[in-house]
Amino acid sequence: MNAIEIENLQKSFGTRRAVDGISLAVRQGEIFSLLGPNGAGKTTTLAMLSTLLRPDGGDARILGHSIKHESAAVKASLGVVPQDIALYMDLTARENLDFWGRMYGLRGGALRQRVDEVLEMIGLTERQKDPVGKYSGGMKRRVNIGAALLHKPKVIYMDEPTVGIDPQSRRSILDSVVALKEQGMTVLYTTHYMEEAQELSDHLAIMDSGRLIASGTQQELIQLVGGLDRIRLAINGDVERVLATWRTITGVKQATVEEGLLMLLVEDSNQALPRLFESAAAAGVRITSVEIQEPNLEAVFLHLTGRALRDG
Amino acid sequence: MARILAIAQKDLRQNLRDRKTFLFLLLMPAAFTLLFGFAFGKGSDGRLAVGYLDQDGGLFSPALKNLLQADLRLVEQPGQSQADLTQQVRDGKLAAAVIIPAGYSQQILADSPLKLQVIVDPASSASATLQAALLSDVGRLLMAVSAARAEGEVDAPAVESRLAAAQREAQAASQTASQADAAKPSPLQPSQTSPGMMAQFAIAGLLVASQLLVEERKTRAMQRLLTTPARRAEILLGHSLSIFVLILAQLLLLILFGQIVLKLDYLRLPWATLLLAVTTAACVAGLGLLVGALARTDEQAIIFSMICMFLFAGLGGAWVPLEVTGSAFQTLGHLTPVAWVIDGFKNIIARGLAFDSVLLPAGVLSAYAALFFALAVWKFRFE
Ligand SMILES: Nc1ncnc2c1ncn2[C@@H]1O[C@H](COP(=O)(O)OP(=O)(O)OP(=O)(O)O)[C@@H](O)[C@H]1O
Ligand SMILES: [Mg+2]
C-alpha cells in the first residue's frame, strides 16, 4: 500500500520549471529520501504535496486524498517540517509546541501530555522554558521537527532537517527519524547529503533540475554505475586545467571537482591510474593522494549528471 | 473557534513579552496626556495664566471678564501697561495677555465690535487655547447683547442676566452637578488631551501588531500555519482578535487613568464609553491587520504605522482641537477615525451630552473597521 503517490507533478515559476513532471510512490511505513542539489526542486515538490502551492499539472494522493481536491483531509493527516525554522523565537519551546499542537486540533490534558512526550523525544525537557530564540541551531532544528509530530501524523515530510548543525545534533535527528519509522510513520525526507540518504532510506530518488533522474533502493541505484570504479585524487596544481585533460583520457567516464578533490568514474582503475599519472607528469603537476572507493550515491549522481552533488 | 483563540492568545503572549508594548500603549499616552494637559495650564487649576488689561471700562467689560475667568486664570495688576504685559509674556511669566481696547463696549452697541488685543507667541500651544476661549466667550457676550437688544433693553444688568441664564442652561444640560464648573472645557485641559492621546496611541498599537505579522511571515511560521488544518479565515480572525483585545485593554486602562487621575467623568455614561472603546479597538484591529498585510519588512511596518498615527492624530484633532480650526480643516479632520473617537469621548466627558450622542461616532468607527478589515483580507499575503 502506498502512502504517497505522485503523478506527473509540475510547477513553473515564470519560465523556470522548478518541478518538471515527477512521478513516484512512497510505501506506507518507509523512509523515502529525495536527494538533490540546491535548486533541484525538492522544496517546491514538498510545497505542492502539503497543499501550499497549487500544481500547474499532475496530482498526488496522500493516504488516498488528492492534494488538489481534498486539501483539508491531506493537511489533517500530515506533519510538515519546513526547511526554515518556522517557530516563534520569543516563545519557549513548550509554548511553541503547545501552540502548534492546538493548530492540529489538540487541547487540554491530551495536549499537555503529548507536548511532554515530544519534548522528551527531542531531548529538550530540561530547556523547555527557555525562549527558542536563545537556543543553538541544533536545538532550534529539533523544536522545528517536534512541532510537526504533536498530532502523531501518519505521514511526515522533512525538508533538509539537518542543514547547518553540529554532528551531535545531526546524529540525534537522524536517530529520531528512524524512531518515527519504527512508530509506523511514513517519512518523506529531502536532503543534499548523500550520507544521510544512504543511511536512512528504504527507497530514494535523485532529483536534479526539476526532474527525477533515478529512483529505487540504494542497491538498485548503485547498479546504475555498473562496474565503474570511483577514484578521488588530490593534486598540487591547477585542478580545472587537469580536469579538462583527464576528461579526454580513455576509460574515464566522468570527472568533476568536489571540495578541492578530483573525483573520477573510470571503467577500470588498474588501467586508468597509470594513464592519469602519465598525464599529470606531462602537465607538470604531482598527484599527492589517491583513493579508490566503492561506488556510492555520489557516484550515481556524477554518472547521471556529470556534476558533483555538492559544488564546493 | 479553538484555533482563533489559540492564535489570539499566542499573539498576546508575544506582545506582552515585549516591553515596547507597554511603552507605546500605556506609558507614552499617559505621559503625553499629563504633559499637554498641565504643562501649559500653569497653576494647579489647569487654566492658562493670562494677563488682563481693561482699557475700556465700559458697559460690558465686567461681563466679559466674568466669562473669560471660567476658562483662564486672569492676572490683573493695577498700573500695568501693554508694554509690561508684552515683557511678561516674553519672559514666560504669563502664558499670554488679553487687552480689552478702549471703546470696546461702545462699539458693540454700535454693532461693529472691536477685536480683543492678544499678546501671545503664535507658535505656542497656549495660543490655540486662548483663541478658542476668546472665540467662545466673545460669541456668548455678543449673543447675550443681541438677545437683550431684541427685547429693547440694552444695559449691563440685562446682558448679565441673560448670560447667567445661558450658563444655567448649560449646567442643566450637563447632568451631574460636579460637572458644572467643568462645563466649559478649555481646549488643552485633560478633557481635550485625554481622548486625543488615547486615540493617537491606540493607533500606536499598529506598530506592535503589524510587526508581529511581518515577523511571522518572515520566519515562515505563517506559511507553516497553512500546512496545518487551520483555515485562512481562522488565521486572520485570530490575529485581528488579538489586536482588538490588546487595544481594548489599553483603552480601558487609559479610561481608568482619566477617571481616577485626571478626574474626567468617563463613567458618567459607562455604556457609551464602552461602546466607543469597543468600536475604536475594532477600527484599530482592522487597520493593524491592513498594515500587517501591506508591510513587507519591519521597517515598512514601522513607517506605515507611524504615518497612520501622525496623519490621523494630526488631522483628527489629537494635538490641536478641531474646534479652534476652520471648517475646511474640520471636514478634513473628520475623514480620520481619530476625530470621531475624540468627538465621541468629548460628548461624554466635556459636552455633557446623552448616550445617543456617541451613536454616530461609534457607527462611523464601525464602518471604518469594516472597511479596513475588508481591505486587509483582500490584500493579505501569507508568504
Ligand atoms: N517562489 C518562487 N519564485 C520563483 N522561483 C522559485 C520560487 N521557489 C523556488 N523557485 C525556484 O525553483 C527552483 C527550485 O527551488 P526549490 O526551493 O524547490 O529547490 P530545493 O531543491 O529545495 O533547493 P535547496 O536545497 O536549496 O533548498 C529554484 O531554481 C528556485 O530558484
Ligand atoms: Mg529546499
Task: Tell me, yes or no, whether B72 and B106 share the same domain.
Answer: yes
**Range picked from A51-65, B40-54, B156-170 for highest mean pLDDT:** A51-65
Position A80 scores a pLDDT of 95
Q: Nearest ligand to the C-alpha of residue A209? A: 1
Q: Which domain holds residue B103?
A: 49-183
On the question of pLDDT at B351 being above 90, the answer is: no
Nearest CA to ligand 1 atom 7: A13
Task: For residues A128-134, give the mean pLDDT.
Answer: 93
Task: Tell me, yes or no, whether B196 and B104 share the same domain.
Answer: no
Please report how the helices B205-218 and B232-260 are oriented relative to each other, as an axis angle in degrees rounded to 10: 150
Query: For B223, which of A52, A89, A90 is closest by C-beta distance?
Result: A52
Task: Tell me, yes or no, whether B29 and B54 share the same domain.
Answer: no
User: In this complex, do A75 and B13 lie within 8 Å of one another by their Cβ atoms?
Assistant: no
Task: For residues A142-160, give the mean pLDDT.
Answer: 94
Per residue, the 3-state secondary structure of chain B, as one string, reads CHHHHHHHHHHHHHHHCCHHHHHHHHHHHHHHHHHHHHHCCCCCCCCEEEEEEECCCCCCHHHHHHHHHHHEEEECCCCCCHHHHHHHHHCCCCCEEEEECCCHHHHHHCCCCCCCEEECCCCCHHHHHHHHHHHHHHHHHHHHHHHHHHCCCCCHHHHHHHHHHHHHHHHHHCCCHHHHHHCCCCCCCHHHHHHHHHHHHHHCHHHHHHHHHHHHHHCCHHHHHHHCCCCHHHHHHHHHHHHHHHHHHHHHHHHHHHHHCCCCCHHHCHHHHHHHHHHHHHHHHHHHHHHHHHCCCHHHHHHHHHHHHHHHHHHHCCCCCHHHCCHHHHHHHCCCHHHHHHHHHHHHHCCCCCHHHHHHHHHHHHHHHHHHHHHHHHHCCCC
Task: Tell me, yes or no, whether B146 and B259 share the same domain.
Answer: no
Query: For B2, which of A86, A95, A107 is closest by C-beta distance?
Result: A107
Chains A, B: CB contacts under 8 A, how many? 63
Which of B183, B211, B245 is the C-terminal boundary of a domain? Answer: B183
DSSP of A157-193, one letter per residue? EEESTTTT--HHHHHHHHHHHHHHHHTT-EEEEEES-
In 3D, which of B196, B151, B225 has the Cα closest to residue B383?
B225
Mutate to test the pocket of ligand 1, among A17, A33, A34, A42 (most ligand atoms within 8 A of CB): A42
Q: Nearest ligand to the C-alpha of residue A20? A: 1
On the question of pLDDT at B153 being above 80, the answer is: no
User: In this complex, do A103 and B3 lie within 8 Å of one another by their Cβ atoms?
Assistant: yes
On the question of pLDDT at A277 being above 50, the answer is: yes
On the question of pLDDT at B25 being above 90, the answer is: no
Q: Which residues have CB less than 5 Å away from ligand 2 (the ion)?
A: A 42-43, 83
Angstroms from A208 CA to nearest CA on chain B: 25
Task: For residues A91-116, give the mean pLDDT.
Answer: 95
Residue to substitute from A49, A67, A103, interface B, most B β-carbons within 10 A: A103
Angstroms from B227 CA to nearest CA on chain A: 6
Please identify which residue in the block is written with the cell numbers 548543525: A165
Position B47 scores a pLDDT of 64
ipTM field:
0.85
The percent of residues in chain B predicted with pLDDT above 70, rounded, is 91
Minimum CA–CA partner of A92 in chain B: B14
Residue predicted with more confidence, B37 or B382? B382
Position B330 scores a pLDDT of 82
Position B4 scores a pLDDT of 95
Please give all residues whose beta carbon lies within 6 A of any atom in ligand 1, as ranges.
A 13, 16, 18, 36, 38-44, 83, 192
Sequence-ordered list of residues with C-beta below 8 angstroms from that of B336, at least 6 positions apart, any chain: B311, B312, B315, B316
Position B185 scores a pLDDT of 44
Confidence of residue B123 (pLDDT cuts 50, 70, 90): low
Query: For B226, which of A52, A95, A102 is closest by C-beta distance?
Result: A52
Residue predicted with more confidence, B29 or A30? A30
How close is the Cα of B353 to the center of ligand 1, in Å? Answer: 62
**Chain B within 8 Å of A301 (Cβ-Cβ)?**
no
Confidence of residue B42 (pLDDT cuts 50, 70, 90): very low
Residue predicted with more confidence, A69 or B76? A69
CATH code assigned at B166: 3.40.190
On the question of pLDDT at A311 being above 70, the answer is: no
Which residues in chain A touch residue B3, judged by CB atoms under 8 angstroms apart? 102-103, 105
Task: Tell me, yes or no, whether B231 and B293 share the same domain.
Answer: yes
Confidence of residue B173 (pLDDT cuts 50, 70, 90): low
User: In this complex, do A51 and B227 lie within 8 Å of one another by their Cβ atoms?
Assistant: yes
Task: Tell me, yes or no, whether B76 and B215 share the same domain.
Answer: no
Task: Tell me, yes or no, whether B175 and B210 share the same domain.
Answer: no
Task: For residues B44-71, give the mean pLDDT.
Answer: 79
**Chain B within 8 Å of A100 (Cβ-Cβ)?**
yes
Position B177 scores a pLDDT of 38
Minimum CA–CA partner of B383 in chain A: A52
The string of pLDDT tens digits covering residues A186-236 is 999 999 888 888 899 999 999 999 999 989 998 888 888 777 888 889 988
Confidence of residue B67 (pLDDT cuts 50, 70, 90): confident
Confidence of residue B227 (pLDDT cuts 50, 70, 90): very high
Sheet strands side by side (includes A211-216): A78-81, A155-159, A186-191, A31-35, A203-208, A211-216
Position B57 scores a pLDDT of 84
On the question of pLDDT at B252 being above 60, the answer is: yes
On the question of pLDDT at B175 being above 70, the answer is: no
Kindly report whether the global pTM for this prediction surpasses the value 0.80. Answer: no
**Chain A within 8 Å of B219 (Cβ-Cβ)?**
yes
In 3D, which of A96, A104, A103, A84 has the Cα closest to residue A122?
A96
Residue predicted with more confidence, A149 or B79? A149
Mean pLDDT of chain A: 90
Which residues in chain A touch residue B20, judged by CB atoms under 8 angstroms apart? none
Which residues in chain A touch residue B2, judged by CB atoms under 8 angstroms apart? 102, 105, 107
User: In this complex, do B229 and A89 lie within 8 Å of one another by their Cβ atoms?
Assistant: no
Task: Tell me, yes or no, whether B133 and B30 share the same domain.
Answer: no
Task: Tell me, yes or no, whether B205 and B148 share the same domain.
Answer: no
Total number of domains in chain B = 2
Which of B183, B200, B230 is the C-terminal boundary of a domain? Answer: B183
Task: Tell me, yes or no, whether B236 and B364 share the same domain.
Answer: yes
Give the whole-angstrom CA distance, residue A191 versus residue A36.
7
**Chain B within 8 Å of A110 (Cβ-Cβ)?**
no
Give the whole-angstrom CA distance, residue A2 versus residue A189.
16
Query: For A99, which of B10, B18, B226 is closest by C-beta distance?
Result: B10
Q: What are phi and psi of A35, to 5 degrees?
A: -105, 130
Give the whole-angstrom CA distance, residue B97 versus residue B100.
10
Secondary structure percentages of chain A, helix, strand, coil, to 5: 35, 30, 35
The string of pLDDT tens digits covering residues A78-99 is 999 999 999 999 999 999 999 9
Per residue, the 3-state secondary structure of B277-299, as one string, reads HHHHHHHHHHHHHHHHHHCCCHH
Residue to substitute from B208, B228, B235, interface A, most A β-carbons within 10 A: B228
Task: Tell me, yes or no, whether B211 and B351 share the same domain.
Answer: yes
Which of B145, B163, B183 is the C-terminal boundary of a domain? Answer: B183
Task: Tell me, yes or no, whether B196 and B338 share the same domain.
Answer: yes
User: In this complex, do A72 and B220 lie within 8 Å of one another by their Cβ atoms?
Assistant: no
Contact B188, B269 (CB under 8 A): no
Query: For B221, which of A75, A88, A104 is closest by C-beta distance?
Result: A88
Contact A266, A231 (CB under 8 A): yes
Position A51 scores a pLDDT of 93
Angstroms from A102 CA to nearest CA on chain B: 7
On the question of pLDDT at B325 being above 60, the answer is: yes
On the question of pLDDT at A61 being above 90, the answer is: yes
Amino acid sitting at position B39: A
